Chain A
Amino acid sequence: MTNSHEVPTPINVKYFSKGAIVLSFLTLIGLCGYIYRLIVGLDASTNLNNQFPWGIWIAIDVASGVALAAGGFTTALLADVFHKDKYHSLTRPALLTAMLGYTFVVVGLLADLGRYYNVWHPMIPSMWQGNSVLFEVGLCVMIYLNVLYCEFLPILIEKFMGHVNLPGILSRYNSLVESLLRISNRTLYRVLSLFIIAGVVLSCLHQSSLGTLMVIAPYKMHPLWYTPILPLLFLLSAISVGFPMVIFESILSAWSFKLKPETKTLASIAKYTPFLLFCYLSIKLGDLAIRNAFGYLTEINIQSVAFVLEIGIGVILPMVLLFQKSKRHSIKYLFISACCIIFGILVNRINVFLIAYTPPFSNDFYFPSLIEVIVTVGLISGLILIYRFMVIHLPVISVQRVKFNIVTDTPKSKATIKG
């Protein structure tokens, strides 16, 4: 095992690459859109209406955001709970993605909330509403976000411990802060496993409850998606997308930071995915068969096309690819299948929250407005930028020290990805 040689390190690259500049630009536009929404309100900035109260900010920013941040808890489950130590190198990037993902879910949610300044209300016991699925999702996401921050804290401490150097007059507290960091590090290390398990439990709860959200609208949901087992499907799909998400970002950051992708580890972690996908697919199709809903696929409309897209490209194709060992060990196919799965989950969440939502009496229909799109794009770009910033400055990505210098040679690594 090469594990012992792999240590998470800050990556020494220039922050503003070409891509980062484009992303900053997009983030800036998104930020403007965000501020515009806060000033003028929802009517001027979105295409939401009385019949379609939820748009892409809920479907993509929140629902897909939560699903795609599932890498954090699945990797933690595998590496920390089941002690598959070889995947330890993947936990920190996954954790960072999850943390940032959930942070941006909350930021995106704030844009969508009509009274965003009341977002703290669900925490007040007098306003607790135990029947509400959304209350459970909200509370779980909030607690989980804090758990994620706690899990991430050791990385920050690791960065600063040992060389605290406060500027100017504060420098006299250097030793105090140092000892504080040491104490918290020691405590955190002891209770970290409690947090990790809590993270897994909380994730299971809200990932599934996100599906329960739409179970309350049986008369408005298209039968291709409306099923009482939506929570199970959501949980399964979130677990399935966890590893592909890790693979996806690992390959992307390798490409971006000109590192050698950890093909072996990725191929190894990818072997769980087709089985999970198969479970998901068989339950989903079995449910369709039990509910006698296959007939709706023969109608040609946006729903049937979206469903075929979701299942065909998002589930069946990557499942078939990843069942083959040779394809799993090829970075190209790994990346393609991961993209497919992520696309499938994204489409699935959009389908459940938007495409399947067909209220019978409505003159209006919903298509996202420009502001909605730029805010969503801006949020995603912002997330990538912060991820890049953190990876550059904090010990997140594990790099084989020995090979570090070699890999920074640009052309070789590019070839590795393509091959």
Chain B
Amino acid sequence: MRQFIRYFFCVLMVPLLVSMVFGTAYAQNHNSDLECKRCHSCDNPTEDSPCIHVCPTKASKHFTSEHLLSEAPDTIVLDHIMKQFEPVRFDHKSHAKMSQMNSSCKTCHHYSPKDRIPPCHECHGAEDNPNNLRQPSLKGAYHRQCMSCHREWSHDTKCVVCHLSCEEDAGFVSEADSTDIVGISHPVIAVPTVKIYHTPYKPGPVVTFYHDEHVDLFGFECVDCHIDENCGYCHDLSHPDNLVKTEEEKHAMCINCHQINNCGHCHDHKRKPAFTHASTGFPLNRYHNQLECRSCHPTRKKIGKLDSHCNSCHGGWNQQNFRHSITGLMLDENHIEWDCVDCHPGNAYDKPDCSGCHDDDISMENGLPGEYIIRQ
């Protein structure tokens, strides 16, 4: 009887144990709901020959990991399947940048493992694969990636938009300058300056949006506001259909920065004037005027209110390191020795009141603590 139990134990438990050990090893690399065949092409993958699918199959198609924009190459020359046309110089960088407004790299790279992004021709052969009708050949792969977006906004499927013909007598004149890639495939985008929306919001139907201010003045990148955008929104200005957005979508673009509860910030009865810094209560003098917004408001998206006291920015200035002449007034010998607060008490750096030192009737040579080098 005991022998039987031992025997039973061996027969049953050993495989169980073995499978448990291997099972945990398996679980380290695999999710439990993953099918073997999804990654392995053979029935019994081993460590030596894991027979992992090289390229995306139906199941692993959207197997992507995030990659940085900075890794992206600038230009890629597509010359694997030249027949009728010259190689295409593909402006990868700007496309990669634009892709940030959408699904980033995976907009095009439907298979990008962790360590690297394989080039298209690694999977897609020059000839199509008769055993896999699903996989387009390289020609189809390229064109599908490009044309699925391009045709949507350019409404043009002419080959010469991207290609230069090899043939001399192609029967048409190529519109392209081969060196100017952006010029070929990307008509210059007409960036709007001011947009005025007439909304149904009664208390303030008019919304004025200074697009140029946000880009040029505030230094926003496109992706800061344009999230999940389709190509046509920027490229296809001739077809206003594409520009239609829902109320939520419209507000979503602004409320990342602007507070939703302050309707009056955007909504008004009439067109709002362009932004002036004076409207914030801090008119910029000629020095401040020359500054980039970002040098005072360094935070990425939010441009917050700053303390308007000079000290809040210029706290490090004192009698030794501040050249007073930069204000246009060069202090004379009598005054240059004074401490700043002696003339400008209480951090008020406007024109000082001299009566603290000088009696009313004391007459100065020219009534100034020095000499103007620049006429104000």
Direct contact of A and B (CB under 8 A): no
**Residues of chain B having any CB pair with chain A under 8 Å:** none
